[in-house]
Structure formats: structure tokens, C-alpha cells
Amino acid sequence: MTAKIRSATEADIPAMLAVEQAANAYPWTEGNFKTCFSERYFNAVLELQGEVLGFYVGQQVAVEATLFDIGVVPGAQGKGYGRLLLQHFLAQAESKAVLDVWLEVRQSNTAAIALYESAGFIQTGLRPNYYPTKQGREDAILMALPLG
């Protein structure tokens, strides 16, 4: 079976929230997702046999785009779905004449960092003590990918 990526709608919020809660110790809320459905946002879900296994949420402002959130359910991680979602996001950004793509990632999320680096992202900065953890806080790595 082949996974399918399609634009998300507000009707997909419960499925996106379920993926987010399964994949993250500190997940977004339903309210976070609800604020990300307007013309400046682009969102997609990845489905396999009608089940949502992953998603992304991004925003465009002028010629820049930011990947806010990307997630894959734990049982489907390591199968290339995150890469498919990232490639789809980047293709959407390019189609909208975006010149630079930005994101931030937990310093401890080595799998995501490796994925982003393999796509050409480079580290541009650090936000100390940005994300909550069980032990306190951890840094956010800022990354960018020039498209133009």
C-alpha cells in the first residue's frame, strides 16, 4: 500500500491531535491546531488505508515559510513517512515562491535533526532552555534551508 498525502482540513484536527499526542511528550493542543487553518498556513496529512499516520503544519509570511509542527505516529516512525511529509512541505513552499524555510527542533531529537540536515537544512542558531522536559528545559536548534 502506498501512503497518500493530502491537504488537511479542520475536520482532520482530531486525527492530527491524536498523532501529536502519541508522538510528543509535550503536544500541541486542539486550540493550537485550530489557529492554523487560514490562507497563510499550509497543512497536510499522510494517510495509509484511510488512517492518518502523520501530518505537518507550516506557515508562509512573505517569501519565508516556517515548519511549525510535523509528526508521525510512533508505530509508523522510521519508515520514511516523515521524509515524505517534509518533501511535500518543501514542494508546497517552493510552489508559493518561498525563498527560505525555517524550523526549530528539540536538541535531543537527533532523528529529526538528521532528517532536516539530509534535506539541506543548516543550523542557524540556538534558543536556550526553550522546550520543557521532565528534568527542566532543553535548547531549541534553529535551522534554515534557502530555496531561492
Q: What is the pLDDT of residues 98-135, one digit of tens each?
A: 999 999 999 999 999 999 999 999 999 999 999 999 99
The per-residue pLDDT for 122 is: 98
50 labelled as ligand-binding?
no
- DSSP for residue 22: H
Report the C-alpha dihedral over residues 50, 75, 109, 78, rounded to 10 degrees: -90
The per-residue pLDDT for 142 is: 98
71 labelled as ligand-binding?
yes
Q: Which three cell numbers stand for residue 40?
A: 497563510
The per-residue pLDDT for 1 is: 73
Between 30 and 2, the more confident residue is 30
- Prediction pTM value: 0.95
**What are the domain boundaries of the chain?**
4-146
Say if residues 72 and 24 touch (Cβ distance below 8 Å). no
Q: What is the pLDDT of residues 11-46, one digit of tens each?
A: 999 999 999 999 999 999 999 999 999 889 999 999
136 labelled as ligand-binding?
no
Q: What is the pLDDT of residues 44-76, one digit of tens each?
A: 999 999 999 999 999 999 999 999 999 999 999
- Annotated catalytic residues are 104, 116
Architecture of the 4-146 domain: 3-Layer(aba) Sandwich (3.40)
**Nearest-angstrom CA–CA distance, 27 and 93:** 24
